[in-house]
Every structure is written in structure tokens, then in C-alpha cells.
Amino acid sequence: MNIGIDRLSFYSSHYYLDLKTLAEARSVEADKYYIGIGQEKMAIPAPDEDVVTLAASAAYPLMKEGELENVELLLFATESGIDQSKAAGIYVHSLLEMSPRCRTVELKQACYSATAGIQLAVGFVARNPDKKALVIASDIARYELGSPGEATQGCGAVAILISADPRLVSIEPECGYYTEDVMDFWRPNYRSEALVDGKYSTTVYIHALLESWKQYAELSGRGLGDFDRFCYHIPFTKMAEKAHRKLCRKCKTDVGDEQMQTLLGESLLYSRITGNCYSGSMYVGLCSLLDNAEEDLAGKRIGLYSYGSGCVGEFFSGVVQPGYRDFVYADQHRNLLANRTELTYQQYEDIFNYGVPTDGGEYVFPQYKTGPFRFSGISQHKREYESLVD
């Protein structure tokens, strides 16, 4: 049975900081960000957005089109959790008015957990071919002000509908996966910003890629030449390109700049102007590819590499389905990204330093530009959300 990604919708915040502005504030050359790490803008969440509103906004187009009716599994992948007990997906389930007959849980393993979610969802659909599963990856990437990771912040969410006979990408059964106990990036419960050993994290990312690929290649019998495009986890776009060069070198395959552009370029467009969104990052890349590929990708194989620090890596693959262009949300994604508001450095720092009140009092939050849902206040330690749609 063909099982895979039936719909794919991306959402990011309405505010961004241009990395030229950050470069000026940090007295570094803008080219370090624009060229060195391959990032131009980072999406900044408004104070009345969080991983719940980002996630619900990503899935809203599916709700509007009645695509959520048969969903009986909701997997919420995040490393920016808002509660140690309650799954953030339950708030999303409520905002999206989904059926109570639904299993809802939150998954965590740094930037990797959405991929675990997708593989679990594929198993669920194999057993229940008339049902669907919704995997949502939603994150806000935060590093300390002035730290090397700062320029790689961002935020966003991706809603991924998994079904039988998918209209976008069928997922192939072979996968290579790799776990190793390392401390390259982590966030203890008492911190709101990640701790990272930046250079080390880039080497672990690549090591896990080569190990995952080795298994995938053995199981599938495929080589790099069997792929038409690649989507990598994108903490910053240069990382994806470096990883692909390393993989090519390992496979003794040459890759020139032009070929690199063909294989990866269209998958990097959205991340370059939104930044890292951790668990959703590779799927933002897939969205960017399906929305923007000049060539009709029907029947083409995509290699997918998902990486979560700590660490788990997985290499798997998918085949693009005929007619997929009729089912992507390309116009919506482009409109969202083209109509954002640029922040000044001071506005960015004020938003960064804003913290959700923790004293159990009653708070109503001012309204900023958001998607169809907002984080409207907090009362007795309970988060309150508001739907802005009828």
C-alpha cells in the first residue's frame, strides 16, 4: 500500500529581523550571515504566539478544507514545550475542532521528533487505511543574545497529513537511523534558551548523516544517483549544503555548484528567510521544494535527512506523486512570507526579553499580527487561546 504525505502546510510568524540589522548590532559583517551561514532573515514570534498558535495556524488550511475529518492520531512534535504534563497538541486539537475520537500525544527528540511521528503515523495508517494521522512540528528557536547561535534563530510550524494513497509524496519503506548519546545541543528544564556546542554539533550532524545513509544504502540498494532532490534538516542553509558535499565525498561522487543548486536550492528558499524552526525545519524544506520546483517533480525521488541533537539521525526517501501541484499551498506560503513586518533591533530585543508571566495572576495580552489563532492571556497558570475565525 502506498502511504505518505497527503497535504503539507507551513506557517511562520508575521515579524522578522533582517540579519543585516543583527550584524550591525553585533559589529560583524553582514556577509558572515548572508554568505557564511546562508541566512538572510529570522522569523520572530509575536508575544501572543507560541508553539500552539503556530501549529494550529499551520493546520488551519487543512481544517478549512475538511481534511481533518478522518484524523484519529495527532502527534505534536516540539522541543519548545509549554507544559511538562499536558500535550500541546490537545490545545491544537481543540482550536481545530477535531473529533474527540483521536489519540493525541507530544513527541520530543530535539529537531528529529516529527520524523519519528511520521514513521509512527505511517504504521497507524497501514493498520487503519481509511483513517488519517496529523503530525505537526512546531518550534521557536532561541539562543542567548550575542551568542554564535543567535543568527540561526527562527520559528514556524508544519502540518503534515499522513494517509493512504497520498496526493503529495509516498514514503518508501527503507530507512537508516542512528542514535548516539552526545551533548551537542540541549536545553535543561530551567532554561528558555538552548545551550549548544556549535562547531561540535555540526560534526555530529554529519556523522549521524553518514551512519544513517550507510544503513539506508545497504537496505535499499540505492546510490546517490537514484535521487532527484534532497531535503536536509536546515539549522541554517549552509549546513545542508555542507552535509550534502560530505555525503557526496563519502560516496566518491562529484557535485558542482550548479548541480548542488539543482539538488538542494529550491528546498532552502523558505528557511533562508525564516531561520531554524527545529522539529519542522526539514519539512519546511520539503514544502519549499514542492512549492517552488520549476521542474514537475512527479515520479521523482527525494532523499530526506532528519537530525535532532543529542542525537538521532534518520535518512529516508519519498516519491513525488502525479498531480501534486494541485494540492500544495504555495500561494498561501508565498503571501505569508511576502507580507511580514520588519522589526528594528530594539523591537527584536524587547520581544526576546518578554517572558510569559509565571505568578499565577490574571493577564490579558495585547493583540499583535498573528495567524487565525492567538495566545490571548493566562489565568491561574492556565494558558488561554483565542480563535480569530468564525
Catalytically active residues are 79, 111, 233
Strand positions, DSSP E, 187-252: 195-196, 229-232
Secondary structure of 295-312 as H, E, C letters: CCCCCCEEEEEEEECCCE
Would you say 201 or 267 has its CB closer to ligand CAA? 201
Cβ atoms < 10 Å from Cβ of 198 = 14
Please, which contacts does 183-188 make with residues 24 or more away whose CB atoms are closer than 8 Å?
A: 183/310, 184/309, 184/310, 184/311, 185/110, 185/309, 185/310, 186/309, 186/310, 187/79
**Parallel, antiparallel or unpaired: strands 185-186 and 229-232:** unpaired
* Window of 29-37, 44-52, 85-93, 323-331 that interacts with ligand CAA by CB under 6 A: 29-37
CB of 48 to ligand CAA, least distance (A): 25
| Rounded CA separation 186/247 (Å) | 26
Q: Is 307 in the site for ligand CAA (CB under 6 A)?
A: yes
Mask for 44-63, x = binds ligand CAA (CB under 6 A): --------------------
| The one among 24, 86, 129, 148 contacting ligand CAA by CB under 6 A | 148
Q: Phi first, then psi: what are they for 46, rounded to 5°?
A: -65, 160
Among the listed ranges 41-49, 67-75, 231-239, 252-260, the one in contact with ligand CAA (CB under 6 A) is 231-239
Identify the bridge partners of residue 7 per DSSP, sorted by sequence position.
Answer: 161
Q: Is 111 in the site for ligand CAA (CB under 6 A)?
A: yes
> Does residue 377 touch ligand CAA according to CB under 6 A?
no
Q: Output the nine-digit C-alpha cell for 187.
A: 536545553
Q: Does 202 bind ligand CAA (CB under 6 A)?
A: yes
Of 11, 178, 205, 216, which one interacts with ligand CAA (CB under 6 A)?
205
- Identify the three-state secondary structure at position 263: helix
* Residue closer to ligand CAA (CB basis): 233 or 374: 233
Residue numbers 169-198 binding ligand CAA by CB under 6 A: 184-185, 196, 198
275 touching ligand CAA, by CB under 6 A: no
| Residue 112 interacts with ligand CAA (CB under 6 A): yes or no | no
Report the C-alpha gap between 119 and 123 in whole angstroms. Answer: 6
Count residues near ligand CAA (CB under 6 A): 26
User: Which C-beta is closer to ligand CAA: that of 35 or that of 126?
Assistant: 35
Q: Is the dihedral of CA 311, 259, 248, 35 positive or negative?
A: negative
The DSSP secondary structure of 366-377, one letter per residue, reads: PP-S-SSEEEEE
Which residue number, 111 or 135, has a Cβ lying nearer to ligand CAA?
111
Residue 284 touches ligand CAA, criterion: CB under 6 A: no
The residues of the shown chain that bind ligand CAA, judged by CB under 6 A, are 29, 31-32, 35-37, 111, 148-149, 152, 184-185, 196, 198-199, 201-202, 205, 233, 235-236, 239, 276, 278, 307, 309
